[in-house]
Amino acid sequence: MIKIMIVDDEVWIRTSIKNKIPWDENLVLCAEVSDGFEAIQMAEVFHPHIIITDVRMPALNGIEMMKKLKEEMPYVESIFVSGYSEFSYVKEAIDLNSSGYILKPIKKEELLGVLDKAINKIHQNSALGQVSKTSYEILNSSLKKIYDEAPIDFQKIYDLLNKLGFYTKYKVIFLLRVMEEKYDYTYVYQNLVKMVSDISRNLTFTVFPVSNNLFGIFISSNSEFDTRQYARMLRNQVKNQSVLGISISIGKPFRELEEINISMETAKNGLAHLHLYSLNEIIIPTDNEEKREWVNFPEVLRRDLIESVYTFNFEKLEQVSRRLKSFISVENQLTINEMNYTLHLILGDIMRIAFERGIPEKVINEGIKLMDEISPYKLRRSSIDVFLHYCNVIAVCIQQSSERNVASSIQKVRKYIDLHYREEDISLKKLAAMFHINHSYLSTSFKKYTNKNFNDYLNCTRIEHAKRMLEDKGVKVNQVAAAVGFNDVGYFGKTFKRYTGMMPSDFQKEPRDKDADKT
């Protein structure tokens, strides 16, 4: 599989290039970006084999970008696109051993010819599957090992950090917990890298994955900076530019590279203080490792209770409720005071979730009243029934909120199809990435809310527009096919017949009233 990245500050140019390339399972678009700095970050994440880039771009032009990338990724092939045939640009492209230099407007045949040349060079050099790890890959892998407390050669890491520019005076590690598990991991990572890049222009940094919903950022700066303010900026950036929810734990800032494991450890300790299902929290480093007192209450029972509420799993919530009552009924497990104290802490977690999920104010107020009722100083065994009932109420509210969010996402996807049905490259996977939703989850939800699968909805939309166009007896069938997103007139004919019962040409010949053919 050959991965291609497209870099251009003009959206329509990127779209034009995408539409001219015959993508398949062996030739895939791994990323498209709008400037040179972002391209370097994306290349470190996706490791493209070919980069198609504009020459003139703001901040960092395509030539300088490829020079920097070639230092770390010498195997990458480049294709330059420009509206200028200036000799200096062409010469620099030749010096970089570029596969080609194309002038705008881009002709499909010319682009595919240069692309074939780049692909052949990759195969000749046996680059596919044999590319050595880049320095950033090694660094990110090493940072994860530090997180996992696995054995590591710190001297090699120090040498690598110095090589990559992490030798400045002020350094820190952040750990980010992403709460939405339905979103595709690759696109979560890609978006995090982009958003960190947007707010870290004067900083040296890398984003490293730890697990499916946990990521780290290692930052190095020439001078001290406000880590709390940086965390707030990142949280706001994520909130404003995506549908993700994150919480951030800040590690202890350090100066000597030998102290990197201390920063990682304090950030890890901060994760333990995050509420289980809370969003948008920021935990600052502290030397005082206070832990919440759960007395003799089983940790697994607490986690199962909060999870069943957060995921509105009513069957599990009923099971947990029975386990909780069974635990309480055993003599000498907990005093009434300890039980009330524990429920008070759990309710605090659930109230926090409710508040962040926009639960109605009336329900929030009921929780505040209940919080007072089950305070550690009021000894009532009946509090447990009221508490469990409130857990059910919150679970119902979260379910309703979640369904509204899903419905909103489906509506956005439908609107996109209605506006862009003419584009040939519309796919479930593309729209899932665009709206940051796991494509399997989107497929299931789309059918649930529309009673059609994605392809049926797309084809129905295209065929309806085609039927209206075919009312014009003078229009050609191949023109209609191209106008509604089919690049193969034969496939268009088969699809049209499947949905209408006749071929497009027969449909066009049939006399009809203007209002007779409405579905």
- Walking along the chain (519 residues) 10 residues at a time, the average pLDDT comes out as 86 86 80 86 82 86 87 85 68 74 85 90 57 69 91 83 76 86 68 80 83 89 87 86 81 88 90 69 66 61 84 89 80 64 78 76 82 60 79 88 81 88 81 73 86 92 92 88 88 92 90 53
pTM (2 d.p.): 0.49
Q: Which region holds residue 176: left if phi is over 0, alpha if psi is between -120 and 50, else beta?
A: beta
Quote the pLDDT of residue 456: 93
DSSP label of 106: P
Q: How far is CA 373 from the centre of its chain?
A: 41
CA distance 422 to 464: 12
Closest CA to 158 of 142, 134, 180, 170: 142
User: For residue 300, with 0-12 CB atoms within 10 Å meaning exposed, 13-18 middle and 19 or more buried, which class applies?
Assistant: exposed
3-state secondary structure of 203: coil
Do 219 and 171 form a contact (C-beta atoms < 8 A)?
yes
User: For residue 373, with 0-12 CB atoms within 10 Å meaning exposed, 13-18 middle and 19 or more buried, which class applies?
Assistant: middle
Residue 61: C-alpha distances to residues 82, 88, 92, 217 (Å): 11, 13, 12, 26
Closest CA to 217 of 328, 143, 313: 143
Joined tokens for residue 79:
């294709």
Q: How far apart are the first and last CA of the chain?
A: 43
DSSP label of 422: T
CA-CA-CA-CA torsion sign (127, 130, 136, 140): positive
Do 102 and 108 form a contact (C-beta atoms < 8 A)?
no
Residue 352: count of CB within 10 angstroms of its CB: 16
What is the widest separation between alpha-carbon atoms in the chain?
88
Quote the pLDDT of residue 79: 92
CA distance 331 to 65: 70
